[in-house]
Amino acid sequence: MARIRQKSRNKSRDESCGNPSFIFKSIGFFCMFQLLRLPRATHLVHRNAAAEEAVSLPSTPPPAVEEETRAFKAHSALTPVVEQKRGTEILWWQKEKPLLKDWPYLPERRHILPWLEKLKFTKGIEVGVQRGFLARRTLSVWKSCKEYKLVDLWGADPNYKQPGRDTIAHHHAHLRKAQNILKPYTDRSITEFFVMRSVDAAPLFQDSYYDYVYLDARHDYCAVKEDIDAYWPKLRPGGILAGHDFIDAPSAVAALGPNKDWSHCEDGTLEPRAVKGAVEDFAASEGLDIVTTHEGFDTWLMQKPYDYKDSTA
Ligand SMILES: C[S@@+](CC[C@H](N)C(=O)[O-])C[C@H]1O[C@@H](n2cnc3c(N)ncnc32)[C@H](O)[C@@H]1O
């Protein structure tokens, strides 16, 4: 019994840390453990190197983008984008009556498009479609759009001498192109073509109904005024009227050449303020604010007030 007890005491000493064989075994286990860990450790180092490489990529955007980002941030800082309602954050576009003045900075006209979607707009008109490039781009972003009416003469207007060199053949080719690239939307009854003068098409559309109208047909003062007057009633209160080329005739000529002189109206009147003048005069007469993009040939936007009383209503 005593011997047995002695043996077991020796065994426990064998396994104690002071025993040399225990030390060797431990070193062996430690080395094997390290060897097993080696591939994982290498992988980790590799991943870290990749992460460092990503971080060390140039982080400064090119100047134009940087400029836009700065302006965007400055504008966003000024814009009251949220309000508290029963403890929930309401973003400006989720408000019952979102306002154009709360829209964020719009560098280019393509930056308008995501807001049409966010604002849950569903009905629009584009006046002056040409090859349909803007229409296609608009609908590719504005996925909730259910109706998008396309108005263009796609031909010569006897009352309007269009500056530029487009022949009838050009106009017909433009129409074919627009029909072709917008076919997926026409097949789903979203787009509908109105091959006629803008002012002749306007009475075909329901008043106080559309969320968004974009004007980009004629560019002289009288014609833009006529189109604004014809399409403003089509908007429902809160809807957005927008259009291209918020610019006067001398600036257009300076940028595009004498071919694009918009200073003469159909009746021969000289009005060099062209699109910009017509939009400014309408805004002044209705007491509206004008918001524009910032790309040279800017897009202008105006909102029909929610309490607007249409003379037709
Ligand atoms: C500048 S382009 C439109 C470009 C298009 N919005 C885009 O960005 O892709 C102007 C278009 O207005 C059309 N147009 C000119 N006078 C018109 C009129 N009185 N009624 C309807 N469309 C007209 C022209 O046929 C031309 O296709």
Nearest CA to ligand 1 atom 18: 197
- What distance in angstroms lies between residue 207's CA and the mean position of ligand 1's atoms? 22
The pLDDT of residue 54:
33
178 lines ligand 1 (CB under 6 A): no
Q: What is the pLDDT at residue 160?
A: 59
- pLDDT, residue 20, reads 53
- The answer to whether residues 93 and 119 touch, using CB atoms and an 8 Å cutoff, is yes
Q: Residue 22: what pLDDT?
A: 54
Q: Which residue has the higher pLDDT, 74 or 13?
A: 74
| Ligand 1 centre distance from Cα of residue 231 (Å) | 15
pLDDT at 152 over 80: yes
At residue 72 the predicted structure's pLDDT band, cuts being 50, 70 and 90, is very low
- For the segment 7-25, what is each residue's pLDDT rounded down to a tens digit? 333 443 333 434 555 555 6
Q: How far, in Å, from the CA of 90 to the mean position of ligand 1?
A: 39
Q: What are phi and psi of 182, to 5 degrees?
A: -100, 5
214 lines ligand 1 (CB under 6 A): no
Please indicate whether residue 153, judged by its CB atom, sits closer than 6 Å to ligand 1. yes
> What ligand 1 atom has the least distance to the C-alpha of 223?
19
State which of 73-82, 127-136, 160-169, 304-313 shows the largest mean pLDDT. Answer: 127-136
From 134, 218, 224, 245, the mutation candidate for ligand 1 (largest count of ligand atoms within 8 A of CB) is 218
146 C-alpha to ligand 1 centroid (Å): 22
- Residue 77 has what pLDDT? 45
Pocket test for ligand 1, best of 109, 150, 152, 199 (most atoms within 8 A of CB): 152
- Whole-model pTM: value is 0.75
Token code pair at residue 109: 């006209």
Q: Residue 118 is which amino acid? A: K
- pLDDT, tens only, 166-194: 789 999 999 999 999 999 999 999 999 99
Structural domains in the chain, CATH included, are: 2-52 (no CATH), 105-303 (3.40.50.150)
**What confidence score (pLDDT) does residue 157 get?**
73
| pLDDT (0 to 100) of residue 28 | 58
Averaged pLDDT, 49-54? 33
What is d(CA 11, CA 5) in angstroms, rounded to the nearest whole number? 10
- Average pLDDT (264-280) is 96
Question: Nearest C-alpha to atom 19 of ligand 1 is from which residue?
Answer: 197
Confidence check: pLDDT of 261 > 50: yes
Closest atom of ligand 1 to 131 CA is 9
HEC readout, the chain = CHHHHHHHHHHHHHCCCCCHHHHHHHHHHHHHHHHHHHHHHHHHHHHHHHHHHHHCCCCCCCHHHHHHHHHHHHHHHHCCCEEEECCEEEEHHHCCCCCHHHCCCCCCHHHHHHHHHHCCCCEEEEECCCCCHHHHHHHHHCCCCCEEEEEECCCCECCECCCCCCCHHHHHHHHHHHHHHCHHHHHCCCEEEEECCHHHHHHHCCCCCEEEEEECCCCCHHHHHHHHHHHHHHEEEEEEEEECCCCCHHHHHHHHCHHHCCCECCCCCECCCHHHHHHHHHHHHHCCCCEECCCCCCCEEEECCCCCCCCCC
